[in-house]
């Protein structure tokens, strides 16, 4: 059966309410058309080698500067589908991250620096209710501070995501608030943000309205600078962050997307599998009316869960309305991954996007801590670079 026939049949099954059958059929397609292979419990829970975090002091060398009238997805398309460091784990959702390995319980020192707070909260509106965790830096009195909204990937939690990215530690250094909305298993069995549903891709409804509501609730209850509010995410959370940037560009000054997909890359479960396998296609970047905030993207070129082409399409979406100048810089983390950093600037010299392609990296947060799930300590520090990019931008600035 050809891929197009499989997608059509999966669409029919989805509309008929047979989601398990549709998912199984699409997973079979992703495996190359063969029969699904049984997964053993030991294989799903196999422990990866524990990697010691590196002291990352990555340097980049200037390579070239040139005019780029437009960015084509094919221009950046690497087309490589090599194995990921996480391939030993089972993709339980088919829509993002893979099932977690067995880990020791997190301690407070994994999640936040001494002298800071990490408190729980809840937000409710007509679309539903979501809990969240809020990081409050130690020096939060007397001035309005930036806020970063962090959207976790499938199977993750706010504590896990905070530990893996170490965003709270970077935020303490830069004196920022950080909020981690939580997707419950009742909304998605694997706790994925439902980035592939049209009802969750629109302003004023569904999950975007709840994420924006949490953002505004924090802004109301704490001293937040309304011009310096940002949103970032990993995998399904990265796709959700792209949606938030496209639908609430008046709320977020910049967006960070790690191993995610562009807003509009899919409209249902079958198209989500296709987008993850080969990119979202032209539909993801067709809406010229959408205003996208400055965006920084990280993607491993060996990501076999979300195709690296999706990172290219996010950048094209963010640069669509301009004729940017492109600077390409290349570097390597000592004893770690090489990377290519592509910076697009507008006519006024302002950075409108950055695209970090990480050589040899799979579907994991680059430069993260092994205390959390789905991290690759050998990469450039995505948390540090995202926060640096965010603080270079403000609404109307």
pLDDT in tens, 22-65: 666 665 655 554 334 433 333 333 333 333 332 222 333 333 33
Average pLDDT on 361-390 reads: 97
- Cα separation, 382 vs 258, in Å, equals 8
Q: Does residue 48 lie within any of the structural domains?
A: no
> What is the count of structural domains for the chain?
2
Q: Is 45 a domain residue?
A: no
Shared domain for 31 and 72, answered yes or no, is: no
Q: Are both 149 and 204 inside the same structural domain?
A: yes
Q: End-to-end alpha-carbon separation of the chain, Å? A: 53
Q: How far apart are CA 85 and CA 43, in angstroms?
A: 14
Is residue 331 domain-shared with residue 278, that is, in the same domain?
A: yes
Same domain flag for 253 and 324: yes
305-337 burial code (b ≥16 CB/10 A, e <16): bbbbbbbbbbbbbbbbebebbbbebbeebeebb
Q: Which residue has the tokens 């699904």?
A: 36
Q: Are residues 157 and 297 in the same domain?
A: yes
pLDDT for the residue numbered 9: 74
DSSP track, 277-310: HH---GGGG--TT-----EEEEEETT-SSS-THH
Do residues 241 and 283 share a domain? yes
Please choose, from the candidates 48, 15, 100, 52, the residue with its C-alpha nearest in 3D space to the C-alpha of residue 377. Answer: 52
Are 258 and 383 found together in one domain?
yes
Q: Across residues 178-194, what is the average pLDDT? A: 96
Domain enclosing residue 31, as ranges: 1-38
pLDDT digits (tens, 9 = 90+) for 288-343: 456 789 999 999 999 999 999 999 999 887 777 667 899 999 999 999 999 999 99
Residue 254 lies in a domain: yes
- Predicted pLDDT at 350: 86
Does 31 fall in a domain?
Answer: yes
- Same domain? For 80 and 147 the reply is yes
- Residues 13 and 158 occupy one common structural domain: no
Largest CA distance in the chain: 64
Q: Could you tell me if residue 138 is inside a domain?
A: yes
pLDDT at 247 over 60: yes
Q: Which residue has the higher pLDDT, 119 or 44?
A: 119
Output the CA–CA distances (angstroms, integers) from residue 141 to 136, 144, 221, 223, in the order listed: 10, 8, 13, 8
Question: CATH code at 208?
Answer: 3.40.50.1820
**CB contact at 8 A, 355 and 310:** no
pLDDT exceeds 60 at position 89: no
101 and 229 part of one domain: yes
In a domain, residue 44? The reply is no
**Same domain flag for 12 and 131:** no
396 within domain boundaries: no
**Does 50 reside within a domain?**
no
275, 284 in Cβ contact below 8 A? yes
171 and 306, same structural domain?
yes
């Amino acid at each position: 059966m050809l891929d197009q026939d499989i997608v059509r049949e999966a669409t029919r099954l989805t509309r008929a309410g047979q989601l398990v059958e549709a998912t199984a059929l699409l997973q079979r397609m992703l495996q190359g058309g063969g029969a699904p292979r049984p997964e053993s419990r030991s294989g799903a829970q196999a422990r990866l080698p524990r990697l010691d975090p590196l002291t990352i002091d990555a340097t980049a060398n200037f390579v070239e500067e040139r005019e780029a009238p437009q960015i084509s997805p094919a221009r950046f398309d690497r087309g490589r589908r090599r194995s990921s460091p996480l391939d030993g784990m089972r993709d339980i959702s088919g829509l993002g991250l893979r099932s977690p390995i067995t880990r020791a319980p997190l301690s407070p020192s994994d999640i936040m620096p001494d002298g800071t707070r990490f408190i729980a909260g809840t937000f409710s509106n007509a679309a539903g209710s979501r809990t969240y965790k809020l990081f409050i830096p130690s020096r939060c009195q007397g001035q309005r501070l930036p806020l970063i909204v962090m959207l976790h990937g499938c199977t993750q939690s706010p504590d896990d995501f905070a530990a893996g990215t170490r965003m709270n530690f970077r935020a303490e250094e830069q004196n920022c608030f950080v909020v981690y909305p939580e997707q419950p298993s009742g909304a998605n069995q694997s706790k994925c943000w439902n980035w592939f549903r049209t009802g969750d891709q629109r302003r004023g409804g569904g999950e975007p309205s709840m994420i924006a509501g949490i953002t505004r609730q924090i802004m109301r209850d704490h001293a937040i600078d309304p011009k310096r509010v940002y949103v970032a995410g990993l995998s399904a959370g990265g796709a959700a962050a792209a949606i938030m940037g496209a639908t609430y560009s008046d709320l977020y000054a910049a967006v960070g997307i790690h191993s995610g997909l562009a807003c509009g890359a899919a409209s249902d479960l079958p198209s989500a599998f296709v987008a993850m396998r080969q990119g979202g296609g032209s539909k993801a970047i067709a809406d010229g009316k959408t205003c996208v905030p400055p965006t920084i993207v990280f993607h491993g070129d060996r990501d076999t869960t979300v195709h690296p082409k999706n990172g290219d399409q996010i950048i094209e979406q963010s640069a669509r309305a301009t004729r940017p100048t492109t600077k390409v810089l290349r570097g390597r983390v000592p004893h770690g991954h090489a990377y290519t950093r592509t910076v697009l600037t507008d006519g006024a010299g302002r950075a409108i996007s950055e695209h970090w392609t990480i050589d040899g990296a799979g579907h994991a947060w680059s430069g993260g801590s092994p205390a959390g799930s789905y991290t690759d300590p050998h990469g450039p520090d995505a948390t540090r670079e995202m926060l640096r990019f965010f603080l270079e931008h403000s609404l109307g600035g």
